[in-house]
Structure 1
Amino acid sequence: MAIGPRLEFRQTQSLVMTPQLRQAIKLLQFSNLEVAAFVEEELERNPLLERDESIDVPPERAALDQRTDPRTEELAPGGADEFLTGDTFATQSPLDTDHADSFDAPIYEPSDSTGGPERTGSGIQASDAEGLDGTALLVAHAPGLRDRLAEQLRLNIADPVDRLIGAHLIALLDGAGRVAVEDAAIGGALGVPEERVAAVRAQMMRFEPTGLFARDLRGCLAAQLAERNRLDPAMATLLDNLELLARRELKRLQALCGVDADDLADMIDEIRALDPKPGAGQDEEPPQPIVPDVLMRPAPNGDWILELNPETMPRLLVSEALHARISLRAPKGDRQFLAEKLASANWLVRSLHQRAQTILKVASEVMRQQDGFLRHGVSHLRPLILRDIAEAVELHESTVSRVTANKYIATPRGLLELKYFFTTAINATAGGETHSAEAVRHRIRSMVQAETAETILSDDAIVAALRKEGVDIARRTVAKYREALRIPSSVQRKREKSASA
């Protein structure tokens, strides 16, 4: 056999992921906020893209508690409220309506003779604060937890070395408000005695909110009880045995603390009133409301009408006139640049249009198959997988998965993610129609909530009750669902019911 170079021709098929195709796939799985951020970047990068301002955006409506008369408020056609309320008729306001009384906005008057805005106490000009109420101003300028602790450190501790230790403790504060680092380690890092670090930590644990800078949960709760003058020996023993309290071993706790059942119940109530994580949520920004991607409302014939939310759909135009005007006299390199930008702009507009149509198509099919949930609730949620929707709308399963990720729909049952409607199937006992796992979890939660101190259901009892209702489920599956719902075991629930009784 001769060994040497030679030429061969082969014909093969392969899928090439072009940058435009990757961009379209990314847009499918983006949420509306991510799409808005991506569009803003493209508007800055591409001179041939411009925002479409020709479509009128529905004006904002006043809050429910700020409306003088709901019957005099015109319903903007196409707005989100029309879909959420199902109210499709509108009445015009009387001509003599005083709209100034329908919204109590704060008044900011200029103080100088030139009429310029006055700097308010919160540091916002009147022009900047127009339309904001007092609560919004306070939230926008509320100091963070570390800022408040630093201020308390300056007011309560005068020694420079102790202030340095306190600043180091503030820097080590975790999200729950604890500092798990030992005093010896902090003292070694700062070059100060361990006892001095312990003294500063003990003093700062009385800062507001009380219980910060503790090394563990026991120290956090002990500081709050000491602030209330309730850290007696019995309570200290209870704090030393919190693991017994978690397991609801109340008889053993009574023996250790030397109290009866009533006193132990009062002590447990006092501990429940404390804050186990005083630093949690102090520096977090207020949660942003979720804006639905799809709106739905009932139709007059009993069906459902689905439409895309116009507030989440970016509106872009390709400025072909600008391209034609500039490219006539532009050099060859600039014409090539403009051609690339024109192709990129056209592709983005088509990708956004295709994304919108795909979302609407998939959401319509999902809600068509979950019509029982819309009319009767969670108990009628049917099993559904991605393959069912993919075959119905003639798309690939991966495309359906991307479309349903981070997309929300406003239904009559509430604002839900599209992924919520995809659940596994659980067989029926008599070979009938399968049951949705989410519906079974909802049934388990309802059964536990209906328990009393005398009718605590074990996992085997829940299995027997579900099988009587036609659900063929195993005991380990019930235990898995119960743990996912954060429902304690029957033994712990019985102890808790007995203690509360």
Structure 2
Amino acid sequence: METLIANLGLLVQNRQRELAELCDCDPADLPLILRQIRALNPKPGLAFDHAPAPVFPPDLIASQGAGGWRVELNRDTLPAITVQEDRLADGAADPAARAARRKALAEARALALALDRRGDTLLRAAAVLVARQSGFLERGPAHLQPLTLEDVAAELGLHASTISRAVAGRMIQTGPRALPLRAFFSRALPGQGHGEAVSRDTALDFVNRVVGGEDPENPLSDDAIVGLADRAGLQIARRTVAKYRATLGLASSYERRRQAVMGG
């Protein structure tokens, strides 16, 4: 077994006879040995690690009231710096020490200001995401609207890279669940050039619903689904319908009709 593992390169090169000779076995035995290797656990130590995954508190909290959604920073998770001003008299140290104190204080103030700005950018970006994706929060992923980093950056007058850094790894508490801020972004799908652009989740939900409600003996073609989407005011291209139908595990209209006939 050790010899086989040490010479797996021969297997990749289809030099099975040479590998069998090194392992002192018959070439017909190699598939059985390989199946045994594939059945092994590559990380056996994990079976002894019973420590639960750490749960980190959210960076923001969104709550819904009579006036809509409200977003605030979770101050418990934000780093804070308190700068103590220099209280020493000017003559209490030599000029070099005073200069070093002034430099250290300036750096501390700059760091505190940078943290405040970062928190402000995070809060403003989250407020835009929650306002633009309220349907997603209230009714689920099918109501996720197309929204990109560039859209949020344009609304706040910032660069997209600034928004990307601000939301990276950040979580927001929305009622009973916590969501990554990245979940609020969704690019518009390519369409036919008219109608309302939709997000990936909206397209998936639409395709799943219309196929689920079709007449099994007269299933909808991809072109028919595009037509239904167009009448519903949604912009979904035929290739998108085919792609997401496959993602959902839905067969073509021909196969669905054949399955209905065979099942009947």
Separation of aligned partners in 1, 2:182 and 2:202: 15
Cα displacement string for residues 4-48 of structure 1 (whole angstroms, at most 9, x for unaligned residues): xxxxxxxxxxxxxxxxxxxxxxxxxxxxxxxxxxxxxxxxxxxxx
Does structure 2 retain, via aligned residues, the 8 Å contact 1:373–1:381?
A: yes
Q: Secondary structure at the match of 1:383?
A: coil
Task: Please tell me whether residue 195 in structure 1 is matched to residue 4 in structure 2.
Answer: no
- Report the TM-score, using the length of structure 1 for normalisation: 0.40
37, 40, 46: which one aligns with 1:213: 37
**Aligned-residue CA RMSD in angstroms?**
4.7
62, 70, 86: which one aligns with 1:296: 62
Separation of aligned partners in 1, 2:107 and 2:71: 31
305, 309, 313: which one aligns with 2:70: 305
Separation of aligned partners in 1, 2:63 and 2:236: 36
Change (3 A) 1:402 1:199: same
Does structure 2 retain, via aligned residues, the 8 Å contact 1:408–1:416?
A: yes
* 1:421 aligned residue: 184
Deviation at 1:378, TM superposition (A): 3.1
Separation of aligned partners in 1, 2:56 and 2:256: 39
Cα displacement string for residues 181-215 of structure 1 (whole angstroms, at most 9, x for unaligned residues): 529979989xx73325979978876xxxxx4414x
Q: Secondary structure at the match of 2:82?
A: strand
Does structure 2 retain, via aligned residues, the 8 Å contact 1:377–1:413?
A: no
Identical amino acids, percent of aligned pairs: 30
Change (3 A) 1:412 1:480: farther
Change (3 A) 1:292 1:495: farther
Deviation at 1:455, TM superposition (A): 6.3
Cα displacement string for residues 281-308 of structure 1 (whole angstroms, at most 9, x for unaligned residues): 7566875546432111222x24222121
* 1:182 aligned residue: 11
Does structure 2 retain, via aligned residues, the 8 Å contact 1:295–1:308?
A: yes
Does structure 2 retain, via aligned residues, the 8 Å contact 1:373–1:380?
A: yes
Separation of aligned partners in 2, 1:309 and 1:197: 65
Change (3 A) 1:198 1:427: closer
Separation of aligned partners in 2, 1:198 and 1:182: 11
* 1:315 aligned residue: 80
* 1:151 aligned residue: none
Separation of aligned partners in 1, 2:209 and 2:176: 18
Separation of aligned partners in 2, 1:492 and 1:432: 28
Counterpart residue identity of residue 296, structure 1 = A
Change (3 A) 1:195 1:366: same
Does structure 2 retain, via aligned residues, the 8 Å contact 1:201–1:213?
A: no
Does structure 2 retain, via aligned residues, the 8 Å contact 1:384–1:423?
A: yes
Does structure 1 retain, via aligned residues, the 8 Å contact 2:196–2:235?
A: no
Deviation at 1:440, TM superposition (A): 1.8
Does structure 2 retain, via aligned residues, the 8 Å contact 1:429–1:467?
A: no
Unmatched runs of 5 consecutive residues or more in structure 1: 1-161, 173-178, 206-210, 215-219, 221-277
Task: Please tell me whether residue 371 in structure 1 is matched to residue 195 in structure 2.
Answer: no
Does structure 2 retain, via aligned residues, the 8 Å contact 1:365–1:389?
A: yes
Change (3 A) 1:212 1:427: closer
* 1:466 aligned residue: 229
Aligned pairs for 1:121-136 (under 5 A) are none
Change (3 A) 1:294 1:329: same
Separation of aligned partners in 1, 2:28 and 2:106: 68
Q: Secondary structure at the match of 1:292?
A: coil
